């Protein structure tokens, strides 16, 4: 049988003191109960109740409105200049003669000189828009004559009955029961 050689651990330092190792992890057994119902099971316990106003959102909105109103002027701004003009003219604001950057350049186009006058390839018929204007023709209809309001007869109906419900509405069970109380309990 082979002999086992065990390594000896020296736990003493050269000065004679004992060498100690750091402690290992220590654990506790889990707590009994459910986290939602048993007190003391949660890591931090139950939080303490803190009162909160019911209308906190409305209260904050009112405070914000007061702060905003305090910053406003007593009267709205009113310009004393006639018309919808800015405070200063464009020349003093932007400087220069043409502040918007548009430069009006003179046209150098002189036109094209043709040998002959223009003749359309398919001339239009007589009486069209390129021909001379037609002579004036009087209005063929008589002017409108207004009738006096007293002469107009008011509208009259052409039938005797003014209201006549449709058959589908008048024969509904609900309408029959309201019209004839004896049918209500059937």
> pLDDT 10s digit of each residue in the chain, 186 long?
557 676 666 678 888 888 777 777 888 887 777 767 777 666 666 678 888 889 999 999 999 999 999 999 888 877 777 777 777 877 777 776 655 566 778 888 888 888 888 887 887 776 566 556 778 888 888 777 777 777 777 777 777 776 766 777 777 777 777 777 776 665
Instruction: Supply angle C-alpha 82, 88, 90, rounded to 5.
Output: 115
What are 57's two structure tokens? 């959102």
Q: What is the pLDDT of residue 62?
A: 96
Residue labelled with tokens 């086992």: 4
Instruction: Determine if the pTM surpasses 0.85.
Output: no
Q: Which residues of 97-120 are buried (b: 16+ CB within 10 A; e: fewer)?
A: eeeeeeeeeeeeeeeeeeeeeeee
What are 95's two structure tokens? 């400087």
Q: Give the residues across from 12 on adjacent strands.
A: 18
145 backbone φψ class: left, alpha, beta (φ>0; ψ -120 to 50): beta
Cβ contacts of 45 within 8 Å, gap of 6 or more: 39
Cβ contacts of 127 within 8 Å, gap of 6 or more: 134
């Amino acid at each position: 049988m082979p002999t086992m050689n065990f390594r000896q651990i020296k736990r003493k330092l050269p000065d004679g003191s004992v060498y100690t190792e750091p402690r290992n992890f220590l654990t506790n057994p889990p707590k009994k109960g459910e986290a939602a119902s048993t007190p003391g099971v949660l890591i931090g316990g139950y939080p303490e109740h803190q009162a909160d106003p019911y209308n906190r959102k409305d209260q904050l909105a009112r405070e914000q409105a007061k702060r905003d109103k305090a910053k406003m002027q007593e009267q709205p701004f009113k310009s004393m200049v006639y018309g919808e003009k800015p405070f200063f003219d464009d020349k003093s604001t932007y400087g220069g003669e043409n502040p918007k950057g548009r430069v009006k350049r003179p046209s150098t186009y002189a036109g094209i000189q043709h040998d002959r006058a223009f003749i359309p390839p398919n001339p239009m018929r007589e009486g069209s828009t390129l021909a001379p204007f037609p002579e004036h023709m009087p209005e063929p209809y008589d002017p409108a004559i207004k009738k006096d309001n007293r002469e107009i007869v008011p509208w009259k109906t052409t039938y005797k009955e003014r209201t006549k419900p449709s058959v589908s509405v008048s024969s509904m069970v609900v309408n029959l029961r309201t019209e004839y109380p004896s049918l209500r309990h059937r």
